[in-house]
Amino acid sequence: MSVYTVALINIHDRDGYANYEAGFMDIFSQYGGKILAVDEAPVEIEGQWPYTRTVLIEFDSADAMDAWYHSDEYQALAKHRFNASDASIARIQGMEG
């Protein structure tokens, strides 16, 4: 069953974050993930949305997502994101049917 990862990100160093972006797809594509949405100006329906970037990605399984996120390659790259932004990230389970 598909799983989704939602990342709510506040970027405070665009140049540093660009280093993360530059290597992201090379690693991400090896694990079968799909980028469904990246938005820096979502329309607020309720409440406030204080994030500078919102990302939604999909994987075929939790195992595939975990393999990508915990891979040595991604963790080495993610150091650029850690230094350039703050994020809240969650994996959510897709619905059957």
All structural domains of the chain: 3-93 (3.30.70.100)
Tokens 């594509």, located at residue: 29
pLDDT digits (tens, 9 = 90+) for 13-29: 999 999 999 999 999 99
- Whether the model pTM is above 0.75: yes
Q: For the residues 24-47, what does the mean pLDDT come to?
A: 96
Q: For the residues 28-47, what does the mean pLDDT come to?
A: 96
Residues counted in the chain: 97
